[in-house]
């Protein structure tokens, strides 16, 4: 089967590899959609350490194709529509049991497209414990987005403890930021969407932003201060990894800030801000439990997750797709399979 690999030099390689077979406790998923995530670009350019021999793609979604020994029929049957929580741990430690295999305490945690094969291929083999039901109301593309980018926004909001009845500033309107804007608006927040790209800001309006700010052309502090009567924001979500100073500049008294964008250098002097009574946190994707809850929320609120995608590609177009994605001047891409 044709699969996408990253040499780490800003190019892709399309390589023929054998179709996987499931081992004990594993299933093979026929991939129907595999999303392109902004973090892919760190590996595309070799900025992060990873196994260059593994298949890329950590936002896969599809159908159960084959089942390994020891997998109970109640856990998986051929044809089931499934999302994948793309981190695999020991399954026994307290973090794994709580749905956080990416924080596995035994040191055996693995991530698709970093340590083990990912979803940019027609089939992927995964532990049965990593699959989650894909609601019938959702497309495979939506399930792929929820598996990382959209789920990352959901995880950040959950870390923040909710955003209803707040003024929430979302910095960065890429796929994660747009998802954060969409969720926050649907939860009753007044959302101020921030970016330096006019196209992304127009998309932010579509996803529910009440106000948009091009921070390259106008002062974010002035806009937020004027809008709030000087109180500034209750909540700031920084998704770009490049605007931490802006994030703190608009965070009001008793404000909560969550940083999920990378690299995201964060610095402040306690003496200068301690009277503001801030709560500052990071967020790393979401647990498998919250991935399922995120999907349910999208269904119950009829949220337009599919609209995050601006481009659809076949696996044969991988080189062109990542050249486009690397420019970061449009929306989100997805590889689709029959």
pLDDT classification of 108: cutoffs 50, 70, 90: confident
Instruction: Please report the DSSP string for 249-287 in residue order.
Output: HTEEEEEEEEE-SSS------HHHHGGG--EEEE--S--
CA angle 258, 190, 143 (to 5 degrees): 65
pLDDT digits (tens, 9 = 90+) for 80-97: 999 999 999 999 999 999
CB atoms within 10 A of CB 327: 8
CA-wise closest residue to 113 among 42, 178, 177, 176: 42
Q: Residue range 32-55: average pLDDT?
A: 96
Dig out the tokens for 37 from the structure. Answer: 């995530």
148 vs 327 pLDDT, higher one: 148
- DSSP lists the bridge partners of residue 171 as 194, 238
Query: Rounded mean pLDDT of 168-172?
Result: 98
Q: Classify residue 46 as exposed, middle or buried by CB count within 10 Å of its CB (0-12, 13-18, 19+).
A: middle
Enter the tokens of residue 96: 């794994």
- Kindly tell me if the per-residue pLDDT of 330 is higher than 80: no
What's the alpha-carbon Rg for the chain, to the nearest Å? 20
Residue 329 has pLDDT above 80, yes or no: no
Percent above pLDDT 90 for the chain: 96
Tell me what pLDDT residue 71 has.
98
Which pLDDT belongs to residue 206? 97
| pLDDT reading at 331 higher than 90 | no
Average pLDDT over residues 286-291: 98
Q: Is the pLDDT reported for residue 233 higher than 90?
A: yes
List Cα–Cα distances, 68 to 9, 20, 91, in angstroms. Answer: 36, 11, 17
Q: Specify which residues 198 forms β-bridges with.
A: none
What is the Cα–Cα distance from 45 to 42, expressed in whole angstroms? 6
**If you average pLDDT over residues 195-209, what whole number do you get?**
96
> Percent of the chain scored above 70 by pLDDT?
100
pLDDT in tens, 237-281: 999 999 999 999 999 999 999 999 988 999 999 999 999 999 999
pLDDT attached to residue 281: 97
Mean pLDDT over all residues of the chain? 96
Mean pLDDT of 19-29: 98
Question: What pLDDT, on the 0 to 100 scale, is given for residue 275?
Answer: 97
How long, in residues, is the chain? 338
For residue 180, what pLDDT is reported? 98
To the question of pTM greater than 0.85 for the whole model, the response is yes
276 — phi, psi (to 5°)? -80, -15
Residue whose C-alpha is closest to residue 160's, from 170, 174, 173? 170
**Average pLDDT value for residue range 306-334:** 94
Q: How far apart are the first and last CA of the chain?
A: 13
Residue tagged 């406790």 (tokens): 25
């Amino acid at each position: 089967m044709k699969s996408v690999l990253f040499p780490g030099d800003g190019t892709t390689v399309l390589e023929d590899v054998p179709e996987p077979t499931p081992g004990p406790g594993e299933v093979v998923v026929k991939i129907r959609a595999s999303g392109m995530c902004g973090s892919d670009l760190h590996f595309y350019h070799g900025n992060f350490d990873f196994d260059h021999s593994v298949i890329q793609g950590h936002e896969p979604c599809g159908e159960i194709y084959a089942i390994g020994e020891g997998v109970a029929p109640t856990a998986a049957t051929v044809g089931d529509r499934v999302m994948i929580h793309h981190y695999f741990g020991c399954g026994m430690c307290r973090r794994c049991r709580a749905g956080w295999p990416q924080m596995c305490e035994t040191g055996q945690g693995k991530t698709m497209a970093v340590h083990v094969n990912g979803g940019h291929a027609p089939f992927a083999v995964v532990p049965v414990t990593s699959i989650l039901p894909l609601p019938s109301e959702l497309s495979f593309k939506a399930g792929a987005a929820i598996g990382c980018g959209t789920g990352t926004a959901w995880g950040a909001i959950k870390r923040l403890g909710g955003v209803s009845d707040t003024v929430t500033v979302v910095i960065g309107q890429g796929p994660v930021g747009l998802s954060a804007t969409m969720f926050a608006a649907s939860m009753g927040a007044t959302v101020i969407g921030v970016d330096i790209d006019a196209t992304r800001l127009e998309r932010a309006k579509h996803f529910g932003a009440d106000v948009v700010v091009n921070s390259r052309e106008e002062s974010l502090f002035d806009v937020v201060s004027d809008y709030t009567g000087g109180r500034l924001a209750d909540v700031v979500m920084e998704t770009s990894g490049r605007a931490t100073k802006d994030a703190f500049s608009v965070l009001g008294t008793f404000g909560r800030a969550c940083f999920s964008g990378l690299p995201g250098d964060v610095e402040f002097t306690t003496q200068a801000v301690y009277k503001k009574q801030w709560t500052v946190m990071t967020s790393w994707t979401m647990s498998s439990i919250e991935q399922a809850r995120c999907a349910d929320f999208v269904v119950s609120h009829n949220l337009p997750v599919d609209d995050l995608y601006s481009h659809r590609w076949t696996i044969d177009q991988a080189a062109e797709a990542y050249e486009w994605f690397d420019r970061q001047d449009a929306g989100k891409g997805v590889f689709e399979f029959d």
